[in-house]
Amino acid sequence: ATFGSLSTRLTETLAKLRTKGKLSAADVDGTVREIRRALLDADVALDVVKSFTAAVRERALGAEVSEALNPAQQVVKIVNDELIAILGGDSRRLELAKTPPTVIMLAGLQGAGKTTLAGKLAKHLRAQGHQPLLVASDLQRPNAVTQLQVVGSQAGVQVFAPEPGNGIGDPVKVARDGVAEAKRRQYDIVIVDTAGRLGVDAEMMKQAANIRKAVQPDEVLFVIDAMIGQDAVATAKAFQEGVDFTGVVLTKLDGDARGGAALSIRGLTGKPILFASTGEALDDFEPFHPDRMASRILDLGDILTLIEQAQKAFDEEEAHRLAEAIATDGFTLEDFLKQMQQLRKAGNFKQMLGMLPGAKGMREAIDSFDEKELVRTEAIIQSMTPQERKQSKILNGSRRLRIAKGAGVTVTDVNQLIARFDQAAKMMKTVAKGGMPNMPGMGPM
Ligand code: GDP
């Protein structure tokens, strides 16, 4: 997972402090040294590492730690604060034009994930009620236009592309025509996909700069693969000089990358990270929040993103109905089934589990989590009669046996499911009453 080893090393380093009451200067120095090594091994740019560790050291030696009730926890807080700072502090949203259409241009190396991102962004914006148009200005890579058409149709948005068979078109003209088309047809957002090369080269930069000049975008998003390690420095600088950009999108944050690019990019360019891409599917995408990312790195959990992802999966009406059902004590197996189905719709279940606090400690359990389990659970509930789904109390031995047979599972499986359901129902009741369910590992901070 993202920041896997960095995260492990930071949490282990900080955990070591926990056994100490007061922290000596030597303790602080030792901790800072380990943090420094962990960051360097994660390919974080040297300048960023230096300023980060200097800030942590200064604060950790100061009064806020020596006077803290729990010095070790105060150091965790400091590291968390400073991580948030290097990730950009506050989150920043897309800047929309006062007079539509808002023009968003994507730039970056080939393979960075621009075309995929165009689809993700379009889908995200459409879900917010916008009408985006995708413009295929990547005429360099064979298939780039077709690929954009594919993601466009997956995202349910239109794609403006050059007519096929006209030889190699002019990407600047396509971009300009695309924006004109958007104005004419009243799209309120235009996303211009541009060409990249495998490495930085002058001609590509010139083309991107020309497209920028031609369409005067409101946002130029530099798309960078989080896995490229130390190359991130040179690539980001080249794009900043060549085209310049207003914001950054990190892609492939799901990979087993060391994640250095993610932690360096803000410090190197001074530009905010707007979005993160975490997989190949269109839904593997989220607005970037420095504070949430920091707590994920320190394994403090990312409950907010988790909740948002869950909300994305639940359709509003259904959620409303569910909430009402629970409030009136009527949470049934039928509701449970619907929840299950919506969870599966949410897509990457493992990824969501990974956002729970303390998830790193449950890595094995999460890795062994089998999505087939959800399918089996669905099968069991589907083998119940409507009456049984409404009133789980009537599920006696012979009914359970019949259900097990129908679903092709053992009676133990059925029993376990019903036990889990009873537990969930209890938790639902707590939530409905305004309480917080007990989450593993979420001690007071
Ligand atoms: P482009 O050349 O910049 O347009 O890059 P593409 O959009 O074609 O992406 C290159 C490859 O990376 C494709 O195989 C994508 O499916 C994949 N990809 C894009 N974003 C992500 C991501 O966030 N995670 C992972 N794992 N793969 C991604």
Tell whether the model's pLDDT for residue 138 goes beyond 60. yes
Atom number, ligand 1, closest to the C-alpha of residue 279: 24
pLDDT at 315: 65
ipTM here = 0.99
Question: In the chain, where does the domain assigned CATH 3.40.50.300 lie?
Answer: 102-299
The model's pTM is: 0.75
Digit-coded pLDDT (tens) for 176-214: 999 999 999 999 999 999 998 888 788 889 999 999 999
113 alpha carbon to ligand 1 midpoint, in Å?
Answer: 4
| DSSP codes, 30-88 | HHHHHHHHHHHHTT--HHHHHHHHHHHHHHHHSHHHHT-SSHHHHHHHHHHHHHHHHTT
Atom number, ligand 1, closest to the C-alpha of residue 253: 23
H helix and E strand count, the chain: 21, 8
Atom number, ligand 1, closest to the C-alpha of residue 251: 23
Task: Please state which CATH number belongs to domain 102-299.
Answer: 3.40.50.300
pLDDT at 236: 92
Closest CA to 331 of 322, 340, 319: 322
Question: Residue 263 phi/psi, 5° resolution?
Answer: -85, -20
Tell whether the model's pLDDT for residue 435 goes beyond 60. no
192 alpha carbon to ligand 1 midpoint, in Å?
Answer: 16
Question: What is the 3-state secondary structure of 372-419?
Answer: HHHHHHHHHHHCCCHHHHHCHHHCCHHHHHHHHHHHCCCHHHHHHHHH
pLDDT at 72: 87
| Annotated binding residue 408 | no
pLDDT at 118: 97
Cβ of 297 below 6 Å from ligand 1? no
Digit-coded pLDDT (tens) for 347-388: 666 677 777 666 666 666 666 666 777 788 889 999 999 999
Is the CB of residue 302 less than 8 Å from the CB of residue 269? no
Cβ of 255 below 6 Å from ligand 1? yes
The protein residue with its alpha carbon nearest to ligand 1, atom 6, reads 113
111 alpha carbon to ligand 1 midpoint, in Å?
Answer: 6
Question: In the chain, where does the domain assigned CATH 1.10.260.30 lie?
Answer: 306-432
Topology at the third CATH level for domain 4-86: Four Helix Bundle (Hemerythrin (Met), subunit A) (1.20.120)
Question: What is the 3-state secondary structure of 280-309?
Answer: CCCCCEEECCHHHHHHHHCCCCCHHHHHHH
CA distance 423 to 389: 16
- Quote the tokens at residue 266: 């803000």
Mutation test of ligand 1: which of 280, 285, 286 has the most ligand atoms closer than 8 Å to its C-beta? 280
CA distance 295 to 297: 5
Q: Could you tell me which CATH class the domain 306-432 is placed in?
A: mainly alpha
> In this predicted structure, which of 220-229, 235-244, 343-352 has the lowest mean pLDDT?
343-352
Question: In the chain, where does the domain assigned CATH 1.20.120.140 lie?
Answer: 4-86
At which residue do the structure tokens 């003209």 appear? 173
- Give percent helix, percent strand, percent coil of the chain, each to the nearest 5: 60, 10, 35
Digit-coded pLDDT (tens) for 288-333: 999 989 988 888 877 667 667 666 666 666 667 666 766 665 678 8
CA distance 66 to 56: 14
